[in-house]
Structure 1
Amino acid sequence: APHITIFGADVPRLPNTTCFSLGGMTAETFLMKLDLAGVAISSGAACSSGKVEQSHVLAAMGIDAAQSASALRVSFGWQTQEADIHRFLDIFRSFIEQQKAA
């Protein structure tokens, strides 16, 4: 199963956004699974959206390139419903269980 690391967990940050990594796998694997389920999240840090190279934000935080490649960013907005959060968590749990079984 992938090791989950939450970036900036011990510092003040936006309450609606979290960036984390699923160690041992690339972010694209999980992004594709979510996309197929109709859920949109992003990879890397917000300041690096759309870029192929390592996020300069994560690099400045001391995150190495391999872990940065597995970084995912989840943000909730004013239109996010509780059901949306539960759906994401259900898909996330399913994905982690599949990775444990692999």
Structure 2
Amino acid sequence: MPQPYAALAVWNAEISAKGALPALLLGASRAEALKNFEKTLNLDPVTMSYHVEYGRALLNMNDAKLRARGVQQLQYALTLTPRTYWERDEQRKARELLGQLR
């Protein structure tokens, strides 16, 4: 089940992005976010929202290599065929995030 790993990944990424003090107080870390996103994608590589959330999290990290991986995740999400309204919405979000980088 990839959902719990995705939730942990997003939580760690969101808290870590708020700064060192909130991350320290709440026990969040960028390393945990990355580990849980990778585990999520290993378990379910075709769910679009996982790629979009991973891409968003990577773009929020202050590291050029991670930001480049974030762009790759968002671009990959755009190659997937949306199966539902929600996946079409995820693709819209991916396009918006990529558009903000220009």
Q: Does TM-score exceed 0.5, indicating one fold?
A: no
Considering fraction of residues, name the structure with more strand: 1
Considering fraction of residues, name the structure with more helix: 2
Per chain length, whose mean CA-contact separation is higher, i.e. which structure has more relative contact order (CA < 8 Å, sep 6+)? 1
Normalised TM-score (structure 1)? 0.27
